Structures are given as structure tokens and as C-alpha cells.
Amino acid sequence: TMATTWVAKPLTRDPAWAADPALSPDETMIAYASGRSGSGDIWLIDREGGNALQLTDHEAADRRPAWSANGSHIYFTSFRSGEAAIWKVPRLGGTAELVLPDADDPALSPDGTQMAFVRRNESGHYRVTIAPLDDLENFRYLTTSDDGYWFHRNPDFSADGSEICYRSSRDVWVVQVDGGRPLQLTFAHEMTGEPEWSGNFIVYSRDVGGVSSLWRVRRDGGLPERLTPGSAYETQASPSSNGRSIVYSTQRMSSSLIIVDRMRGIETRMTPVGESAMPAVAPDGNGVGFSGQFRKEASLFLQPLSDGVPVGDVRRLTSYAGSFNSVAFSPSGDWVVVNRIWEGQRDIWTLPLGGGPPLQFTTDTAADVTPSFSPDGGRLVFASDRSGRFQIWSAPIEDGRCVGEPQQRTFEDTIDYLPRISPDGLMLAWLANNDDGENIWVQPVETPGAARPLTEGRRIECIEWEPGGRSLLASGDWEGPNRVDLRRVFVADGSVEKVAFDVDFGSGDSGGVHFASGTFSSSGDGRLSVHDHSEMLGDVWILEAEDRDKIEN
């Protein structure tokens, strides 16, 4: 009898990251994105390996290549116009040309007449769309908010062009090109990566507790089957039509937390706990709370500090089911408030640092995220989509519990999150997502509706009030789309200045793939800060099936 053995070999061995592989229609070449030239460009390599050919060269990020039906051109997403847009370039190089603004994740139909892509709808979420290739502005949405959690990304046409598979943030779905209700194919409710057709199967990646491996599921449903062990972070599969070879990437982020003593200019890298993220410094500077991987879920940890340096062991604060993130300290330092994802719900919980179980602060069926305390400790502000889109809400708090009805504080036509109240308790700042990017907005705490933007056309990652409340520190794309830097923004007029201390968040953003989260936090007096430092790693690999004679005894 014949036994199938899968053999994996790397196609790139570059110190720079390589990602987004796409197998050509004749299955001889692979287009991919690489950070070799600094930002992210489209490259081409033979499936047997050898020297790669650079197809694009631009300081903005070029990502997510997709082949034309006849293999003559490669379509890709570029950020050279300041937003995601679809461009194309001849397969052996030449001048890149703009195909469609305000679009991402291109996929071409097998007959070459249609393109599927993703575009934000009126609620600000990515949905799958389709249009004739010769009339791309005549597009229609194929998915709605009922067809998969959060966002919809990475459409791919079936071999006969009649169906499109795509991913929501949690699962794989299929939709008919001529309309009809999309069908959910996987139900693991875990992070899912780039699905692509392979005959009657759909190959995709699945992230289980920080380990990503390749899986496949039959178009007609059934139990998914695991294809790779997840020994590297395996994702972004591009299978051959017969399913006997799969090109994929091992793209992953490496992140660590760095403590900076701004007074003495000393930096200390904290011992990571899995992928540590979203740090918060205790008001008195005696500890750092952060979210880290523990077994399969995100837990909360506390690293005690003494004179700005880690002392003693990291303490795990949560031993409860669910994932915990977005930690913030109360002004007294006695409590932390967190976002807990548990049994399909996203709610705000509080945790007494002196010991004791967490207390549930919000109970609405909506998603409640990114909480923080008012400076007097009497209120919590958080983002909630209970009104239909994410906006800022606040509620009174006493002994860790909600003691009044939550009230809506923002009413703009934006997606709002990460609220922060100024040290004097008078101003509310938050981040708002719209077509113009992610920007800082402010309004007086006592006059909801009097909102105004402090920044425009930016992509801000994280904000924090400075002592005195006249200015905010903000991390974002101040130096361009492939960097994350820290700046001071003045509330009075939105003017911006550099800060005296340098913060290295790592590589920035490469075409919508964030590998510098830009999160940071400071102690109450501003002396200590902690920030997230990230870098992207990874190569393109090919996995091939080999049949061997199996000797039966």
C-alpha cells in the first residue's frame, strides 16, 4: 500500500521577514511579501527555490499578493496612497499601477472576470465585496454583520468560481458568488488565518494558545483535520489545486516589555511570559501589570518593581477561566480593572490586588472593552458596542462593583475605544476609528457631545495623560506608516512635539499587519514607563506530499 508523508522545506532563509505567499495559477512560482528592503515589498521566487526577484520597491508597505487568472499580473495591497488600496504589477516586474482605492485582500476569479476584496462598511468593519474586474466601483457586499464575528477578511474563489471562502476573526465561512446566506464551516471560535481552496477542501490556519498550525475542512462540512504540527508559527497557506503541496509562512511577532527609568535613563527588559502585552504601571511605580499567555489563554501577571527595576518573581493574578487583557490600575493601587473574555462574552471585571475573586462590573450582552479609572477612583470609563457601534460609556464604581446605570459619553460617527480621563478629572480623551485612521478625540467630562478631534489622518496606537493634564503622550505613525513613535500632543490646539526620551516600539506596521502594538504606560509621576517592543520574524515554506511504499508485515 502507499502511505503519504508530508515533507516541509524553507523557500526563503532571509534574516528579514517573509509572508503572504501566493502560488501562481500554473503552480511554478510564488509571489510573497518581504521586509528585505525595509518596509515590505512584493517578491517572486521559483517553487524549487533559488534567487528571488523583487517586483515592487516603495517605502510604504506592499502586502498580500494575488495572481491574475492568466498569471500575467500580480495584484497586491499597498499603503502608498496613505490607505489600503489595490495595485497591480506585471509578473516579471515593471511599473505598478493603482487598480482600486479603499480596498484590501484582492482575489481574482478563475475566469478572470471578477475580483473579490474587502472594504469597510458603514459600521467601520471589513466585509467581503465583489465587482466585475472591468467595472470595480460597481461592487456589492456579499457579507453582513450576521456572517461571522468582528471582521471578514481574505476572500478566495473556488475552482469553478461559484463560491468564495473567507474568515471572520474566529472561523471559516463560505458564500455563494451570486448571493445567498453565507455558511459557517468551522466552529472552534479561535483565531483563524487566511483560508484558501484546495479542490473540495479549504485549507486555513488556526491559532490555539499561541501555536498556529495548518488545518483543512471539507466544503460540505465535517470535522476539520490538522495538517501540520505547529512546530513553527504556521499560517497563510496557499495550497495547490490537487492538495499535494501547500506553500505557507511562519510569520510571527516576537514581543517583550521594556521598563524605562526616565530619570536615570536606564532600560530593563522584563522576562516575558509567553507573548506579553498591554502593560500598565502601578500609580506608585512599584509594579507592572500585563497580559501574558498561560496555557491556552491570556492571564494577568504582576511584576513587582523596586527603584524602577524588577524584583522577585512574576505573580500570576488570575487563575480563572477566560482570557484577561487591557489591565488598568485604580488610583489607590488597590484594584485592577480588566477586560475578560469568557463564554463568548466580553465584559469588564475588577480584581482586588489584596486577594479575592474577580468581580463582574458590566453584564450587558454587548462587548465591553478597554476600561480605565477616573483619577478620583469613583468612575470607570470603557468602550461598549451596546448602542450598535463602539462608543465610550462610564459608570460609578465602589469597592470594585458597579453602583449605578452606565451612561453613554460619546455620540460621534466613529468607532471609539481606549478612554482616559485627565488627572484633574475635567477632560475625557479617547481613540476614534474612522475612514481617516485612528485619531485622538477629547471633550469635557461634563458635556458629552462637545467632542473635537485633536489629530487628523493619523494612526494612533495608545494614549496617556501627562501629569498636569495639559498634554497627552501618544504612540503612532508620526514618522510614517512603517514606524511607531511617541509624541506629546497639546490639548489646547492639537500641536505636537517630540519627547525628551526615546522609546523603541520595534518595527511598525507593514500593510495593516501590526507588529508594533505601540502600547505603553507610565507611573503617576511620569518617572517610570513600560512599553511593548515587537519585531516580525518568519519565512516562506513549502509542504509537499510524498507517497512511499508501506510494507505490511
Residue 482 has a pLDDT of 67
Q: What residue has cell string 462574552?
A: 345
What stretches of 158-244 adopt beta strand conformation (E)?
Answer: 163-168, 172-176, 183-184, 192-198, 201-208, 211-218, 225-226, 235-239
Residue 507 has a pLDDT of 67
Nearest CA to 55 out of 68, 70, 40, 69 is that of 40
**Single-letter code of the amino acid located at 2:** M
Q: Which residues contact 180 (CB under 8 A, 6 or more apart)?
A: none
Residue 553 has a pLDDT of 39
- Cα torsion 456, 460, 347, 298 to 10°: value is 160
Residue 552 has a pLDDT of 43
Residue 275 has a pLDDT of 65
Q: How far apart are the first and last CA of the chain?
A: 12
Whole-angstrom Cα distance, residue 516 to residue 537? 12
DSSP letter string, 18-70: EEEEEE-TTSSEEEEEE-TTSS-EEEEEETTEEEEEE----SS-EEEEEE-TT
Residue 295 has a pLDDT of 60
Residue 348 has a pLDDT of 95
Low-confidence ranges of the chain (pLDDT < 70): 1-3, 209-210, 272-276, 294-297, 435-436, 481-482, 507-516, 548-553
Residue 551 has a pLDDT of 45
Residues forming a β-bridge with 289: 280, 302
* Alpha-helical regions (H) of 292-340: none
Residues forming a β-bridge with 37: none
Residue 236 has a pLDDT of 92
